[in-house]
Structure formats: C-alpha cells, structure tokens
Amino acid sequence: MKIWLRLYAVLFDRPLKNGAVVQNYRIVKMLGIGSYGYSYLVSDGSPGMKVLKQLRKRPDGSSNFLREKEILRALRHPHIPKLLDDFEWGGRRFIVMEQMPGKTFEDLIFEAHKTFSEQEAFHMLRKVLDVTSYFHRKGIVHGDLRIPNILFDEKENAVSIIDFGMASYGEKFHADFEKLGHFTLFLLYSGYRPEQKKERPWYEELPLSGESSLVLKKMLQIEKPYETVDELIKDVDGLLLSLEA
C-alpha cells in the first residue's frame, strides 16, 4: 500500500519541495504520505516547528480530511496535536497542527532497536489508554492506533497520539482496542529471539503471564472483547500490579 501511494505521488501528484512557502509556512521536510494527503514539517518564524497536512488531488479523501480537521478542533488534550490553522492555497486544502515531542514507536523499535519487557510494554499501553480514554468519552474512535501514530517522549516519560485521519464519531471502540493489541505485540516482540524456526502464534511464542495473554486475547477479540476503555484500563491496572508483585 505504501509503495503504491508513493508511486502515485511521483507520477500524478507530486509533493511540495523543501524550502517552498505555502501561505506563511516554509517546508522544512516531508514527513510522510498518508492515504489522502502529505505531511510536512514546517516553520512559520514563530517558536517551534509545526506539522502541515496537504490534501492530495483525490476526491475520495476530502471527507476524511475535513473530518480530521473537525475532530482535532473538538479535542483539547496535552498529548494530542492541537489544530492551529486551516486554509486553501493554490486550489489545495491544508491544515496545520502542533508537532508533538518524541519518537514514534515504529522508529524506537526498528531504528533505535529499543526493546520492551512484558511489564514495560503494558506500562506503555496504560499510558496510551489514558489518552485514548479522553477521546473515547467524547464518542471518537481513532481507527489507526498503530506504532507509527503513537509517540514516546523519553524526557517527559509521556506518550502522544497523532494522525486522526481515520478517526470518526461512533461506538466501535473495539476497533481501537484491536489496534492497541497489535501495538502491544510489537512492543513485546521487540526483544523476542525465536528458539525454533517453525512459526507459532504469539500466545505460544511469547513467554507471557496468563493474565497478559488474556488481556491481549480480549483486545484482539479472540476472547470476549472489551466494550469500553474503562474495562480495559481496569484489567491493565490489575495486570501491572501482579507483574510488579
């Protein structure tokens, strides 16, 4: 999917170049290509960098782009990017938001080669759930809680959630729990070294406690799934107490 998006961008809808100025925002570098837009790190002369999102020339992405703007406008949380500006320029739509501190868990695991123990992985999950609970209580489902969209700021020992491009209003919270189940598995596998070549399911490969396995199975809907974030938080809190004992 990512390869196709990049090929489409090169052939039909080229991104802005470094140094280009859009309104009063200067492009520092491109951060990535999403399903409906480009993301850039930008500077406007004021303190701190910002993130600029540009809607690509794809009509199917317009509704998602506008919905992300409205959802960000409705959220006020220190670990969710604040919407700073939105405008049209050169026939394109743009939104500007805060740049959140830290590195994505994708970069931490695959570039910095950081590993997480069972206890550390569930501690991180608990931090993410604190932020998730905020927007779930507003009836918002993120829809894309993957390792590229969750950041960890080691200095502040805090996580942030970014990229609300797939977010929507609704009650399908289990979709977020399933994504966070996979997020937690990435952390747990970060230090895993297979003892045999034959591939096995995670609950056989990973040396996890029974409580950890059950929480993950409920998140991944292998067992009866969680219905609310409060149920999940309660179980993770209990799990962490047992792991710390």
Give 10-residue mean pLDDT values along the chain (245 residues): 50 80 96 85 95 80 86 98 95 94 98 98 99 98 97 98 95 97 99 83 96 99 98 99 93
Q: What pLDDT is recorded for position 128?
A: 99
Question: Is residue 208 within 8 Å of 122, Cβ to Cβ?
Answer: no
Asked if 240 and 155 sit in the same domain, the reply is: yes
Q: Distance between CA atoms of 205 and 161, rounded to whole angstroms?
A: 29
Q: What pLDDT is recorded for position 97?
A: 97
Asked if 167 and 229 sit in the same domain, the reply is: yes
Q: What pLDDT is recorded for position 2?
A: 52
Asked if 87 and 108 sit in the same domain, the reply is: no
* CA count, 13 A, side-chain hemisphere, 161: 30
Asked if 116 and 233 sit in the same domain, the reply is: yes
Asked if 79 and 140 sit in the same domain, the reply is: no
Among 44, 144, 163, 176, the active-site one is 144
Question: Which pTM does this prediction carry?
Answer: 0.91
Q: What pLDDT is recorded for position 147?
A: 98
Q: What pLDDT is recorded for position 90?
A: 87
Asked if 117 and 237 sit in the same domain, the reply is: yes
Out of 40, 64, 98, pick the residue that ends a domain: 98
**Closest by alpha carbon to 39, among 177, 148, 191, 173?**
148
Beta bridge partners of 50: 42, 98
Asked if 228 and 126 sit in the same domain, the reply is: yes
Instruction: Let me know if 86 is a catalytic residue.
Output: no
**Closest by alpha carbon to 64, among 164, 176, 173?**
164
Q: What pLDDT is recorded for position 59?
A: 58
* CA count, 13 A, side-chain hemisphere, 172: 10
Q: What pLDDT is recorded for position 7?
A: 52
Asked if 88 and 108 sit in the same domain, the reply is: no
Asked if 81 and 174 sit in the same domain, the reply is: no
Q: How many domains does the chain have?
A: 2
Out of 44, 64, 98, pick the residue that ends a domain: 98
Asked if 108 and 43 sit in the same domain, the reply is: no
Query: Residue 116 belongs to what domain range?
Result: 103-244
Q: What pLDDT is recorded for position 58?
A: 62
User: Residue type for 98, please?
Assistant: E
Asked if 115 and 234 sit in the same domain, the reply is: yes
Buried b (16+ CB within 10 A) or exposed e, 31-53: eebbebbbbbbbebeeeeebbbb
Q: What pLDDT is recorded for position 206?
A: 96
Which residue do the tokens 């598995």 mark?
Answer: 185
Out of 98, 123, 148, pick the residue that ends a domain: 98
Asked if 209 and 136 sit in the same domain, the reply is: yes
Rg (CA), the chain: 19
